[in-house]
Amino acid sequence: MKRRLPLLLGLVLVPGQLACGKRPQTAAPNPPAPAAAPVTPAATASGPRPKTLLRGAVVMTAAGKIYERADVLLEGDQIVAVGPELAAPGDAKIVDLSGKTLTPGIIDTHSHIGVYAAPGLAAHADGNEAIAPNTAGVRAVDAYFPQDPQIDRARAGGITTMQILPGSANLFGGRSVTVRLTPGVRSAAEARFPGAPAGLKMACGENPKRVYGEKGGPQTRMGNVAGYRDAFQKASEYQRSWTRYRKDHAEWLAKKDKPEPPVIGDDYDDDEPKDGKVGKDGKPAKKKGDEPQPPAVDFALETIAGVLRGEILVHNHCYRADEMAIMLDLAATYGFKIRSFHHATDAYKIADKLAAAGTAASVWADWWGFKAESFDGIRENAALLTQAGARAIIHSDSAVGIQRLNQEAAKAMHAGRRAGIPVSDDQALRWITANPAWALGIDAKTGTLEPGKLADLVVWSGNPFSVYTIAEQVYIAGEQVYVRGSLEPRTDFELGYLPGDLERSTPPLATTNAGSTP
Amino acid sequence: MSTLSPRRGLCSCLVLAFVWALGAAPAAAAPAPTAVSTPARAGPVYLVGGELHVGDGTVIKDAVIAMDGGLFTIVGGPEARAKLLDESMAVDLKGKLITPGLFAAETQLGIVEIDLEGSTRDDSKASEHPVRAAYEAAAALNAESALIPIQAIDGVTSAAVVPTGGLISGQVAIIDLVYGDHRGLAAQPRAAISAHLGQAHAGSRAATLAKLREVLGDARGYPARRAAYDRAQSRELSAHPLDLEALQPIFKQQAVLTLSADRASDILAALDLARDFNLKITIVGGAEAWKVADLLARAKVPVILEPTLNIPGGFDSMGARLDNAALLHRAGVTVALLAPGGTHNLRSLPQGAGIAVAHGLPWEAALTAITLAPARAYGVERTHGSVAVGKVANLVVWSGDPFELSSAPTEVYVRGVKLRGTTRQNLLRDRYRDLKQFSRGNK
Domain B10-100+408-434 of CATH type 3.40.50.150? no
- Cβ within 8 Å, pair A369-B344: yes
**Which candidate, B314, B341, B343, B337, places its Cα nearest to that of B324?**
B337
Q: What is the pLDDT of residues A423-453, one digit of tens each?
A: 999 999 999 999 999 999 999 999 999 999 9
Give the distance from residue A379's alpha carbon to the nearest chain B alpha carbon, in angstroms: 8
**206-235 in chain A: CB under 8 A from chain B:** 206
Chain A residues touching B200 at Cβ < 8 A: none
CA angle A408–A412–A415, rounded 5-degree value? 135
Q: What is the pLDDT of residues B56-86, one digit of tens each?
A: 999 999 999 999 999 999 999 999 999 999 9
Residue B443: pLDDT band by 50, 70, 90 thresholds? confident
- Cβ within 8 Å, pair B340-A400: yes
Whether the CB of B321 is below 8 Å from some CB of chain A: the reply is: yes
Whether the CB of A271 is below 8 Å from some CB of chain B: the reply is: no
pLDDT of residue A18: 32
At residue B358, does pLDDT exceed 60?
yes
Identity (one letter) of the amino acid at A108?
Answer: D
Query: What are the Cα distances from residue A14, in Å, to A145, A175, A191, A318, B35?
Result: 12, 8, 17, 16, 40
Integer Cα distance of A202 and A212 in angstroms: 15
Minimal-distance CA residue of chain B relative to A400: B308
Percent of chain A with pLDDT over 70: 84
Q: What is the pLDDT of residues A167-178, one digit of tens each?
A: 999 999 999 999
Chain B residues touching A158 at Cβ < 8 A: none
Evaluate the CA torsion angle A124, A127, A130, A132 in order and state its sign: positive
Integer Cα distance of B291 and B324 in angstroms: 9
Whether the CB of B310 is below 8 Å from some CB of chain A: the reply is: yes
pLDDT of residue A510: 81
Which whole number is the average pLDDT over B346-366? 98
Give the distance from residue B410's alpha carbon to the nearest chain A alpha carbon, in angstroms: 11
Q: What is the pLDDT of residues B186-206, one digit of tens each?
A: 999 999 999 999 999 999 999
pLDDT of residue B438: 92
- Cβ within 8 Å, pair A399-B311: yes
A511 CB burial (10 A radius; 0-12, 13-18, 19+) = middle
- Cβ within 8 Å, pair B312-A469: no
> Taking the CA of residue A178 as centre, how many other CA atoms within 13 Å lie in the half-sphere pointing to its CB?
29
pLDDT of residue A283: 54
Number of residues that make up chain A: 518
Whether the CB of B439 is below 8 Å from some CB of chain A: the reply is: no
ipTM: 0.91
Number of CB pairs, chain A paired with chain B, less than 8 A apart: 146
CATH number for the domain running over B103-384: 3.20.20.140
DSSP β-bridge partners for residue B64: B48, B76
pLDDT of residue A3: 40
Chain A residues touching B351 at Cβ < 8 A: 407, 411, 467
Mutate to test the interface with A, among B22, B108, B115 (most CBs of A within 10 A): B115
- Cβ within 8 Å, pair A348-B284: no
Chain B residues touching A400 at Cβ < 8 A: 308-309, 311, 340
Residue A517: pLDDT band by 50, 70, 90 thresholds? very low
Of B262, B341, B432, the CB nearest to A366: B341
- Cβ within 8 Å, pair B116-A7: yes
- Cβ within 8 Å, pair A372-B30: no
Identity (one letter) of the amino acid at A450?
Answer: E
Q: Where are the beta strands (DSSP E) in B19-142?
A: 45-53, 59-68, 71-76, 91-92, 97-100, 102-107
Mutate to test the interface with A, among B344, B357, B401, B427 (most CBs of A within 10 A): B344
pLDDT of residue A46: 60
Of B27, B286, B354, the CB nearest to A467: B354
Give the distance from residue A132's alpha carbon to the nearest chain B alpha carbon, in angstroms: 22
CA angle A218–A220–A226, rounded 5-degree value? 60
SS (H, E, C) A350-395: HHHHHHHHCCEEEECCCCCCCCHHHCCCCCCHHHHHHHCCCCEEEC
Chain B residues touching A349 at Cβ < 8 A: 432, 435, 438
**94-153 in chain A: CB under 8 A from chain B:** 118-121, 149-150, 153
The runs of H, that is alpha helices, within B100-259 are 147-152, 205-230, 241-246, 248-251
A269 backbone φψ class: left, alpha, beta (φ>0; ψ -120 to 50): alpha
- Cβ within 8 Å, pair A465-B115: no
Residue A260: pLDDT band by 50, 70, 90 thresholds? low
Integer Cα distance of B321 and B290 in angstroms: 9
Which comes out higher in pLDDT, residue B217 or A495?
B217
Minimal-distance CA residue of chain A relative to B258: A1
Whether the CB of B308 is below 8 Å from some CB of chain A: the reply is: yes
DSSP β-bridge partners for residue B91: B47
pLDDT of residue A307: 98
Helix (H, G, I), strand (E, B) or coil at A153: helix
Residue A404 · residue B379 · CB < 8 Å: no
At residue A1, does pLDDT exceed 50?
no
Mutate to test the interface with A, among B405, B436, B437, B443 (most CBs of A within 10 A): B405
Q: What is the pLDDT of residues B407-426, one digit of tens each?
A: 999 999 999 999 998 999 99
Integer Cα distance of B410 and B396 in angstroms: 8
At residue B403, does pLDDT exceed 60?
yes
**Which candidate, A128, A126, A129, A115, places its Cα nearest to that of A188?**
A115
Q: What is the pLDDT of residues B143-191, one digit of tens each?
A: 999 999 999 999 999 999 999 999 999 999 999 999 999 999 999 999 9
pLDDT of residue A214: 96
Which whole number is the average pLDDT over A287-292? 72
Residue B442: pLDDT band by 50, 70, 90 thresholds? confident
Mutate to test the interface with A, among B113, B432, B434 (most CBs of A within 10 A): B432
Cα A478 from chain centroid (whole Å): 20
Give the mean pLDDT of chain B: 92
Whether the CB of B260 is below 8 Å from some CB of chain A: the reply is: yes
Whether the CB of B437 is below 8 Å from some CB of chain A: the reply is: no
Chain B residues touching A367 at Cβ < 8 A: 341, 344-345
Identity (one letter) of the amino acid at A58?
Answer: V
Integer Cα distance of A198 and A315 in angstroms: 10
**29-68 in chain B: CB under 8 A from chain A:** 29-30, 32
Chain B residues touching A153 at Cβ < 8 A: 310-311
pLDDT of residue A426: 98
Minimal-distance CA residue of chain B relative to A347: B432
Which comes out higher in pLDDT, residue A260 or B230?
B230
Whether the CB of A411 is below 8 Å from some CB of chain B: the reply is: yes
At residue B35, does pLDDT exceed 50?
no
Whether the CB of A418 is below 8 Å from some CB of chain B: the reply is: yes
Residue B415 · residue B10 · CB < 8 Å: no
What residue segments make up the domains of chain B, in order of their start?
10-100+408-434, 103-384
Residue B7: pLDDT band by 50, 70, 90 thresholds? very low
- Taking each helix axis as running N to C, give the angle between helix A299-308 and helix A221-256, from 0 to 180 degrees, rounded to the nearest 10: 90
Which comes out higher in pLDDT, residue B320 or A19?
B320
Evaluate the CA torsion angle A325, A409, A485, A71 in order and state its sign: negative
At residue A6, does pLDDT exceed 60?
no
